[in-house]
A and B are shown apart, each in its own frame.
Chain A
Amino acid sequence: MSRRSFLRGSTAAAAGVAAMAAGLAPLRKLGEAISVDQFLQQHYKELSPADMDKVLRRIENEVERQYGVRPHVRDYKPMNGVEYVYALNVTRCVGCRKCVHACVAENNQSRDPEIQYIRVLKMPNGTFDVEKGDVNYAPESVPEKGFFYMPVQCHQCKNPPCTKVCPVKATWTEPDGITVIDYNWCIGCRYCEAACPYFARRFNFSEPTIPKEKLNPEMSYLGNQPRHKGVMEKCHFCIQRTRVGRYPACLEVCPTGSRKFGNILDPSSEVAHILREKRVFVLKEEVGTLPRFFYYFDV
């Protein structure tokens, strides 16, 4: 080997090694973002109770490390003989957006960038074109004369297009009617976001940030555990509240009592009465999604 070819070869090799090291450098940060356990975790439905227990402890540890708050993470299971239905009184809603912000606080949504599950549409009286609705309204006080308000969130469809398009089955409908996402299994392809006719799904384009003091420590695996960058999320009827018999957060804060929630399989429930007696409609009925979220009018 000549001196010339040796120098040329060794320079090329050194440059190659350096380039490779630089290329792999972001992987060193991977350890902070995702643990080995998290990476190797099985699909939600394949986890044994013992596995799930380990997963929940791991999430608790991770949240404590990140936020300095020891959370209470649980995996709430659906109840027998329960199917949730939501009913919203369009006549009474005043468009105050309290539900939007109660939802963000309850479900640990990212504050920056902002993620909100509920969109409150403002529409002129006498019209009903949701595509022409306005969510960005900012008057001094509500309700504004000549307008009505219609909050839209995940409709928890009986025939959901979003779960059908998921290539990895990371989202599915539970027996109690709630469509959930396994945040760990989601690959972030956003097919479901495109499939949803109600624009109910939100994507974490960047790592979500939540101020430590605003973290809700009562968490559920399929519900409000903190999400990571690159996964979908959406309204899950506050799984950590409703599966222990409580009302969802958006209903609790509604000042006008426009929001009604309950078990449709119980004929004496408020929602069962509404569906029997009131003038009820669903949004975009023609797309055949069979929502479990109903709108109704008074009188």
Chain B
Amino acid sequence: MSMRPGQKTNLVIGGLVVLFLGLAASFAFSPNPAPVRQDPALTRVVAPAPQVATLRMTAPQLAAGGGDASILDCYACHDEKKSPTVKMGADGAIVFPKEHADLRLMMANCSTCHVGKKLEVEYAKNGDVVMPKAHEDLLKMGHGRNNRNTNCFNCHSQTKLNELVTRDGTRLTFAQAPLLCASCHGPTYRDWELGVHGRTNGYWDTSQGKAVRQDCNACHDPHGPAIPQIIPFPGPKPVLTHGLGSAGAAEHGAAEVGTPKSEGAQPKPETK
């Protein structure tokens, strides 16, 4: 069959149009349209409002009773109209009043001093927050191996610094801080919830006693979470020259290294 090229093209396009219209019609008028899959709504963690009953307690009372004092700022106890005077030392750092020495939590609680105002934060060229002179001894920023998380407001609320905000806008109290950590460190949080990450103390058999778990901030300073270097306890005395781990004994000043394997000839080969 001989056809002109244009005619052939028209035929193919016409066929495709008919096919599409047919499919559209069958889709529109099909008796049982497939239901659209609805993902279940993600549950949000809702931070409970601070209870009035606890607010009536003074912060030391609350802390003594094991309560969460982080939701309180100075005005939980002080009259808001007669604000307490804040003393500054010669170095410009806040001198913490003696009567509040037990309130260590408030040391890092910015809203103790910055009330209700939006903070102006200065940034360095590389994007890091420039730490104000007055706070150099309070905080040491170092979150992340490459200091990628140095902006205060990645975690703190911009207007209420004693409140935490996750990336999706969920507001959390300081007591709920693990949920904030979880918003970035998911696998670690999962391990922590199951008891695999972090310390568990007390009783393995919970029918006989309590297992004590620590939350993130017990071990990690949130502003510099890497565990600091620690001084190790002394090693074996005298230096171990036998068995597992004695490979580097010569470097540690061992008198005899490579002593014969027949330990019977050695009066006190291992522990002395």
Contacts and interface: CB of A to CB of B under 8 A. Distances in A.
Interface residues of A, number: 66
B233 A132 contact: no
A241 B228 CA distance: 30
Interface in B194-249: 194-209, 214, 219, 227, 229-237, 239-240, 242-249
A205 B267 contact: yes
Interface in B88-111: none
Contact of B230 (A94, A194, A242): A94
Given A247-B203, A257-B200, A135 B270 contact: no
A245 B271 contact: no
A136 B248 contact: yes
B254 interface: yes
A298 B272 contact: no
A251 B248 CA distance: 27
B229 A136 contact: no
Nearest to B247: A132
A94 B235 contact: no
B245 A245 contact: no
Contacts of B219: 255-257
A119 B270 CA distance: 12
A97 B239 contact: no
A136 B254 contact: yes
Given A244-B208, A245-B203, A134 B248 contact: yes
Q: Which of A120, A136, A152, A254 has the most CB of B within 10 A?
A: A136
B268 interface: yes
Label chain B's interface by main secondary structure.
Answer: loop
A199 interface: yes
A138 B247 CA distance: 14
B271 A136 contact: no
A124 B199 CA distance: 26
Contacts of A255: 199, 219, 227, 230
A203 B197 CA distance: 35
A113 B229 CA distance: 30
A81 B208 CA distance: 15
B252 interface: yes
Contacts of B231: 96, 140-142
A245 B205 contact: yes
A51 interface: no
Nearest to B250: A136
B196 A274 contact: yes
A133 B245 contact: yes
Given A138-B235, A255-B230, A256-B227, A263 B248 contact: no
A247 B247 contact: no
Contacts of A114: 236-237, 271-272
A247 B200 contact: yes
B271 A270 contact: no
B136 interface: no
Band of interface residues on B: 35 or more
Contact of B270 (A98, A132, A142, A203): A203
A206 interface: yes
Interface string A132-164: 111111111111000000001000000000000
Interface in A221-279: 242, 244-247, 251-252, 254-257, 260-263, 269-270, 273-274, 277-278
A116 interface: yes
Given A141-B230, A142-B230, A270 B244 contact: no
Contacts of A245: 203-209
Given A100-B233, A247-B202, A256-B227, A121 B245 contact: yes
A118 to B, nearest CB: 10
Contacts of B202: 246-247
Interface string A80-123: 00100000010000111110110000000010111110011110
Contacts of A298: 191, 197
Contact of B236 (A116, A242, A260): A116
B243 A138 contact: no
A141 B271 contact: no
A113 B268 contact: yes
B247 A273 contact: no
Given A141-B231, A298-B191, 19 more contacts: A101-B233, A112-B272, A114-B271, A114-B272, A119-B240, A119-B245, A120-B245, A135-B244, A138-B252, A140-B231, A141-B229, A141-B232, A202-B271, A245-B207, A246-B209, A251-B201, A255-B199, A278-B196, A298-B197
Interface of B: 187, 191, 194-209, 214, 219, 227, 229-237, 239-240, 242-249, 251-252, 254, 263, 267-268, 270-272
13 contacts: A113-B271, A115-B271, A135-B244, A136-B239, A136-B252, A136-B254, A142-B230, A194-B263, A254-B199, A260-B200, A261-B204, A273-B194, A277-B196
**A-B CB proximity, top 9 nearest:** A113-B272, A245-B205, A135-B245, A245-B208, A134-B248, A141-B229, A97-B233, A199-B243, A257-B199
Interface of A: 79, 82, 89, 94-98, 100-101, 110, 112-116, 119-122, 130-143, 152, 190, 194, 198-199, 202-203, 205-206, 242, 244-247, 251-252, 254-257, 260-263, 269-270, 273-274, 277-278, 298-299
